């Protein structure tokens, strides 16, 4: 079903393997994040993850015993359960988490993302990356540790910049190759991963120049957004055009152009930080 082992021999004397982290009182309700094949279970006839007492899930005890507490939402505990076969679930179906964008609030979507990332972490860290021996799950935090060399691993988080670039009353938008190849004509802002030893600001300048051949100035940080596809942390910025002509990297970008804020193409979904950046640039242009 998953992950790194949890063995009594690795527990401190007198500790309880599932207490208090994995305890849930029968009388209380909780949010349940069921993950299988990097998809999340959504309740039938709603766009919500299950919120119920543990008995209402009607799942086998051996499955419920493997629940992992990953946080709280609206003062109620959130539990991750991995690998439950869809055939034994009668209250929902597994869906791509993208469908929740713009339909649930950001705190709940971030918890969905946490569940996806933690699940992926356990699936991909069953063995030590340093010596190859079996790992076991650390009870007091989200981590795995090697039985042999004691190397400890944590969920991978990949820092990524995303930037909206403004030139007077225009914004630079690109149709990325991945969207074009999937017949998904969405025009969006630029983004890219930070490299080792690189500041986020230098990453932004490098990614912009590599992808569209221009230079930017007056870089402003806006906010961050966890992006669990599979494990990015997006740092959002707005920058102003400085110099250069658009010259695209054809491996990454199919087309890119300046669009007036009153004549924008098809944009990313609401709920994404990309859409928020485009909206903020539009508001700032309209107020000038």
- The C-alpha atoms of residue 6 and residue 29 are separated, in whole angstroms, by 26
Question: What CATH number is given for 158-286 in this structure?
Answer: 3.90.79.10
Categorize the per-residue pLDDT at 15 as very low, low, confident or very high, splitting at 50, 70 and 90: very low
- Give pLDDT, residue 164: 98
Spatial distance between the Cα atoms of 242 and 216, rounded to a whole number of angstroms: 5
pLDDT digits (tens, 9 = 90+) for 83-98: 999 999 988 999 999 9
Residue 46 pLDDT grade (very low, low, confident, very high; cuts 50, 70, 90):
confident
CATH numeric code, 8-153: 3.90.79.20
Q: What is the pLDDT of residue 100?
A: 93
Q: Residue 166's pLDDT band (boundaries 50, 70, 90)?
A: very high
Residues written for the chain = 288
Q: Is pLDDT at 6 greater than 50 in this prediction?
A: no
**Beta strand pairing call for 158-167 and 232-243:** parallel
Name the pLDDT band for 211 (thresholds 50, 70, 90): very high
E strand or H helix at 149: none
pLDDT at 230: 93
Q: Does residue 183 register a pLDDT over 60?
A: yes
Residue 7: the pLDDT is 37
- CA distances, 30 to each of 41, 49, 74, 115, 283 (Å): 15, 10, 10, 14, 39
- What are the backbone dihedrals phi and psi of residue 49, each rounded to the nearest 5 degrees, phi first? -80, 155
More confident site: 249 or 14: 249
**Placement of tokens 């100035």 in the chain:** 217
Q: Is the pLDDT of residue 146 over 60?
A: yes
Compute the mean pLDDT over every residue in the chain, rounded to the nearest whole number: 90
Q: In whole angstroms, what is the distance from residue 163 CA to residue 27 CA? A: 46
Map out the domains of the chain as residue ranges. 8-153, 158-286
User: Taking a C-beta distance cutoff of 8 angstroms, is the pair 246, 256 a contact?
Assistant: yes
* Among candidate residues 49, 80, 55, the one with its CA nearest the CA of residue 67: 80
- Residue 24 in this model has a pLDDT that exceeds 50: no
Q: Looking at residue 36, what is its pLDDT?
A: 94
pLDDT of residue 184: 86
Reply yes or no on whether the pLDDT at 19 is more than 50.
Answer: no
Instruction: Give residue 44's pLDDT.
Output: 87
* Nearest of 91, 124, 108 to residue 4 by alpha carbon: 124
Cβ–Cβ contacts within 10 Å for residue 274, how many?
A: 25
* pLDDT confidence of residue 105: 93
pLDDT higher for 2 or 182?
182
- Average pLDDT score over residue span 163-184: 95
Higher pLDDT: 9 or 132? It is 132
Average pLDDT score over residue span 184-193: 96
Given a cut of 60, whether residue 133 has pLDDT beyond it is yes
Q: Which residue has the tokens 């609401």?
A: 270
* For residues 15-39, average pLDDT: 67
Contact in structure between 142 and 70 (CB atoms under 8 Å): yes
pLDDT value for 52 = 92
Backbone angles phi, psi at 81, to 5 degrees: -130, 130
């Amino acid at each position: 079903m998953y992950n790194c082992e949890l063995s009594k021999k690795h527990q401190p004397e007198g500790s309880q393997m599932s207490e208090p982290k994995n305890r849930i009182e029968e009388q209380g309700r909780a949010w349940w994040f069921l993950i299988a094949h990097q998809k999340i279970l959504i309740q039938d006839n709603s766009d919500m993850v299950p919120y119920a007492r543990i008995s209402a899930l009607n799942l086998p005890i051996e499955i419920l015993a493997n629940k992992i507490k990953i946080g709280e939402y609206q003062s109620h505990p959130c539990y991750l359960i991995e690998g439950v076969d869809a055939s034994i679930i009668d209250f929902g179906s597994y869906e791509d988490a993208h469908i929740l964008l713009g339909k649930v609030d950001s705190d709940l979507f971030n918890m969905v993302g946490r569940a996806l990332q933690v699940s992926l972490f356990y699936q991909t860290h069953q063995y030590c990356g340093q010596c190859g021996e079996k790992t076991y799950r650390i009870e007091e935090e989200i981590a795995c540790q090697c039985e042999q060399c004691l190397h400890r691993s944590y969920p991978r988080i990949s820092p990524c910049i995303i930037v909206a670039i403004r030139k007077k009353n225009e914004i630079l938008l690109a149709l990325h190759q991945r969207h074009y190849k999937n017949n998904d004509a969405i025009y969006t802002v630029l983004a890219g991963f930070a490299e080792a030893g690189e500041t986020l600001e230098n990453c932004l300048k490098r990614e912009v120049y590599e992808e569209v051949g221009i230079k930017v100035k007056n870089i402003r940080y806006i906010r961050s957004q966890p992006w669990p596809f599979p494990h990015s942390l997006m740092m959002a910025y707005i920058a102003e055009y400085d110099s250069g002509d658009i010259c695209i990297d054809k491996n990454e970008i199919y087309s890119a152009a300046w669009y007036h804020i009153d004549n924008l193409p098809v944009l990313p979904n609401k709920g994404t930080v990309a859409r928020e950046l485009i909206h903020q640039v539009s508001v700032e242009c309209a107020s000038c």
